[in-house]
């Protein structure tokens, strides 16, 4: 593993290379080097995740004054999701530089989206500690800008049901249920009432002349409540227990 090569690719020269080395150390490597004083990247990942959320939100806020809160949130989520950050990690060959156990390597760990995403977040955390937030901006904003052109239309145009599914899988590790509660009207003018549930907890309703349209309206209403902070996340997580 040549740290000089990675630093050249990143465009960052660390004052404390030990920070970069920590950011590149997978937990499995520690398991195989128990006698050494080592730390894995998980604490730096925690820090980097928060910094990326902030910098990405700031960038989008300044670039898209016409977008509302919900649209900005969807764009930010698209840019910092696991698959997107893994793509940024692959662009700098980060997987080749991660220190990991032999078993993890054999199982494809160097190319796993979740591992690459977490390592990239850890590198961001390391850059922040080493050189501050401006250095992080220099590192990530050009890369996020390139990625932005790829994901922006997908993020803004995605239908409410798909967006709700993505959110619930990310936050609760479940998919929402769409339950038909009633069907009214004559055959030529049916009206469907669909209830959106998360972990069996009713969140919102939608109506429409097809089950699909009622579900889309219900998902849009659920997303609106989420964006307004009206969803009791603790209760939803307890319901899954």
- The answer on 41 and 104 residing in a single domain is yes
In whole angstroms, give the CA distance from residue 143 to residue 55. 12
Provide the 8-state DSSP code for 234: H
pLDDT tens digits for the chain (241 residues)? Answer: 578 999 999 999 999 999 999 999 999 998 888 767 788 999 999 999 999 999 999 999 998 888 788 778 878 888 888 888 999 999 999 999 999 998 888 888 888 888 999 999 999 999 999 999 999 999 999 998 888 777 766 666 677 888 888 888 878 888 899 999 999 988 777 899 999 999 889 999 999 888 988 998 999 899 888 877 788 877 777 765 5
Cα angle 180-185-189, degrees, rounded to a multiple of 5: 100
- The answer on 145 and 197 residing in a single domain is no
- Active-site choice (22, 40, 45, 49): 49
In whole angstroms, give the CA distance from residue 30 to residue 37. 9
- The answer on 186 and 175 residing in a single domain is yes
Provide the pLDDT for residue 149. 73
In whole angstroms, give the CA distance from residue 135 to residue 139. 6
Provide the pLDDT for residue 47. 97
- The answer on 140 and 108 residing in a single domain is yes
Question: Tell me, what CATH number does 182's domain have?
Answer: 3.30.160.20
- Active-site choice (121, 130, 195, 217): 121
Strand partners, 99: 25
* Full domain range(s) for residue 119: 3-157
Q: What is the dihedral of CA 154, 157, 158, 159, to 10 degrees?
A: -170
Provide the pLDDT for residue 181. 96
pTM here is 0.65
Q: For residue 97, what is the enclosing H or E element?
A: none
Residue 159, helix vs strand vs coil: coil
Provide the pLDDT for residue 146. 80
| Active-site annotation holds for 130 | no
- pLDDT digit string, tens, across residues 130-172: 999 999 999 999 998 888 777 766 666 677 888 888 888 878 8
| Active-site annotation holds for 217 | no
Provide the pLDDT for residue 167. 83
Question: Tell me, what CATH number does 110's domain have?
Answer: 1.10.1520.10
- The answer on 64 and 128 residing in a single domain is yes
Of 119, 134, 157, which closes a domain? Answer: 157
């Amino acid at each position: 593993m040549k740290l000089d090569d990675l630093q050249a690719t990143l465009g960052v020269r660390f004052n404390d290379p030990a920070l970069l080395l920590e950011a590149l150390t997978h937990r499995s490597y520690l398991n195989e080097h128990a006698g050494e004083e080592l730390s894995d990247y998980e604490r730096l990942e925690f820090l980097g995740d928060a910094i990326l959320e902030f910098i990405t939100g700031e960038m989008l806020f300044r670039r898209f004054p016409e977008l509302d809160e919900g649209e900005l949130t969807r764009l930010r989520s698209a840019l910092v999701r696991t698959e997107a950050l893994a793509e940024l990690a692959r662009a700098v060959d980060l997987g080749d530089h991660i220190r990991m156990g032999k078993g993890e390597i054999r199982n494809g760990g160097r190319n796993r989206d979740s591992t690459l995403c977490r390592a990239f977040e850890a590198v961001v955390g390391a850059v922040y500690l080493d050189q501050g937030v401006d250095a992080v901006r220099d590192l990530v904003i050009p890369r996020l800008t390139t990625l932005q052109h790829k994901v922006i239309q997908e993020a803004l145009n995605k239908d409410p049901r798909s967006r709700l599914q993505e959110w619930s899988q990310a936050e609760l590790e479940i998919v929402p249920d769409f339950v038909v509660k009633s069907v009214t009207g004559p055959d030529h003018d049916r009206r469907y009432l669909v209830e959106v549930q998360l972990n069996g907890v009713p969140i919102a309703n939608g109506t429409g002349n097809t089950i699909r349209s009622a579900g889309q309206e219900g998902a849009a209403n659920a997303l609106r409540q989420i964006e307004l902070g009206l969803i009791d996340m603790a209760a939803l997580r307890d319901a899954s227990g």
